[in-house]
Amino acid sequence: MDAHAQALGALGPHTTGVGCLYIKDLDQVDLDVLRGILERSRAWVESGGDARMHLTITS
């Protein structure tokens, strides 16, 4: 999450834990900031990332 510290500060209400990002209400967060976090995370995973990394998006 350190790689996204600045973006998380601009995201809006959320919590984090052990590499997880929890959002209860999408209407309360900046969706452009969230999209940027997700795009950077996906690009990192697709480029090899870390063998322990698993990216899951649920609704």
The tens digit of pLDDT for each residue in 29-51 reads 999 999 999 899 889 888 988 87
Domain limits, the chain? 2-46
pLDDT above 80 for 58: no
pLDDT band with cut points at 50, 70 and 90 for residue 26: very high
Output the pLDDT for position 25: 94
Average pLDDT value for the chain? 87
pLDDT above 90 for 11: yes
Which letter, b or e, does each residue of 5-40 get, where b requires 16 or more Cβ atoms within 10 Å of its Cβ?
A: eebbeebbeeeeeeeebeeeeeeebeeebbeebeee
Q: How far apart are CA 3 and CA 20, in angstroms?
A: 13
pTM reported for the whole predicted model: 0.78
